[in-house]
Amino acid sequence: MMAMGCQRFVVTLIDAKLGKQEERDWDQDKVMQNIGWLKHMNARGYDVWIRPSGEHNLIVLGGLSAAQLQALNEREYLPAVVIETGTGQYQAWLKLSNVPVVDNLRYQVKQEVFKDFERAGIKATDRADGRLAGFTNQQVQLSGGATPICVAQVVGR
């Protein structure tokens, strides 16, 4: 969360089976104070998602492969945060500037990134939020019925 440079976050819990969801708008300290409760809810079958709250300077691209992540870097879209959401599947948070960017401009930039990706034959999901590292991804099942844990990747800058 620190690499994202945000003060507040919307944490969304989604029941993977029923689709029921709950949202909390918390500062970074409150997120950290509630890790135990979030882990409990994750163990009960809830996915844990996060996005910046209020004005911010980030966009997230999901559904990326390692090759697509490399293509991001080659196009000089350097992620602030990369989360491995399952084996060989990634989400990348891109920081657009050092100051908050209004919603309309963030959306336009995201569309331009997608156009660049489409020209390169890359597909990505257009979600506003990403998975929180350290929690299982209930949408993916590994052999034996286990669910993968979302892992933050080291990003060199």
pLDDT of residue 33: 97
The pTM assigned to this predicted structure is 0.82
Residues facing 9 on adjacent strands: 26, 52
pLDDT at 112 over 50: yes
Query: Which range has highest mean pLDDT (22-36, 43-57, 88-102, 104-118)?
Result: 22-36
Instruction: Say if CB 91 and CB 62 are below 8 A apart.
Output: yes
Please compute the mean of the pLDDT values over residues 110-135 and round it to a whole number: 75
What confidence category does residue 157 fall into, taking pLDDT thresholds of 50, 70 and 90? very low
Q: Which two three-digit tokens encode residue 107?
A: 């959306």
Amino acid, res. 156 = G
41 CB neighbour count, 10 Å cutoff: 19
Kindly state the average pLDDT of the residues 102-110.
83
Helices (H), the chain: 28-33, 35-43, 66-74, 103-119
Share of the chain above pLDDT 70, in %: 87
**Once rounded to an integer, what is the mean pLDDT over residues 2-16?**
89
Q: Are strands 79-86 and 21-27 parallel, antiparallel or unpaired?
A: unpaired
Mean pLDDT of 12-24: 92
